[in-house]
Amino acid sequence: MMIFFKERLALLSVPKTGTTAFQAALRDRADLVISDPPELKHAPLYRYNRWIRPMYEKVCGAELEVAAVMREPVSWLGSWYRYRQRPALDGQPNSTKDVSFEDFLNACCKGKPPAYANVGSQAKFLEAQPNGCKVSHLFRYEDRNALKTFLEQRLDTELHLERKNVSPAADLPLSPEAGARLRRKRAAEFELYQSIPVR
């Protein structure tokens, strides 16, 4: 997460959406950078609303707009699956080493997924709060230039991005049946993604 106070902007770091590259490029430009631990770096909107927003509102009398990135849901889950294939997780409950991609997706659809499929929800991460706190500027991961242009204009700076924290490539076949089940069980993810305008 990064805060740009003068510009009244907060940029959330949704996991597996490429925001680490933006954080690296803007670290020196931001007023507040939370890069560790992951629970705070990747604080969802409800956590921002509870802890960060009140700090600026009560101390500075300022309300910040919130920007975030969302990835196409199958691609997002594929990135999680590949990330959890890495050798460092061999033998751990959250390793997907001996799990097929379809089994991983099916596990993600369970009410209480096993550790290897417990990756959360982008829709829940970005969910508007009862007090009106919401994401004002939501961008598609697949439209990286839209976010880059937005930040360059909003922050009056030029960005030079490098690829960071990229999951290894892998072929992830998906049957029509598994894809349909995923869309049915995680409908909120697909609905939110489809609502994001292509810029």
pLDDT for 86-100, tens place per residue? 999 999 999 999 999
The number of distinct structural domains making up the chain is: 1
Which pTM does this prediction carry? 0.93
pLDDT tens by residue, 10-57 = 999 999 999 999 999 999 999 999 999 988 999 999 999 999 999 999
Question: Residue type for 185, please?
Answer: K
User: For residue 19, what is the domain's CATH number?
Assistant: 3.40.50.300
Burial class for 142, CB neighbours closer than 10 Å (0-12, 13-18, 19+): middle
SS3 state of residue 147:
helix
Q: What CA–CA distances, in Å, run from 13 to 23, 78, 107, 148? A: 9, 18, 24, 14
Domain ranges, residue 131: 2-195
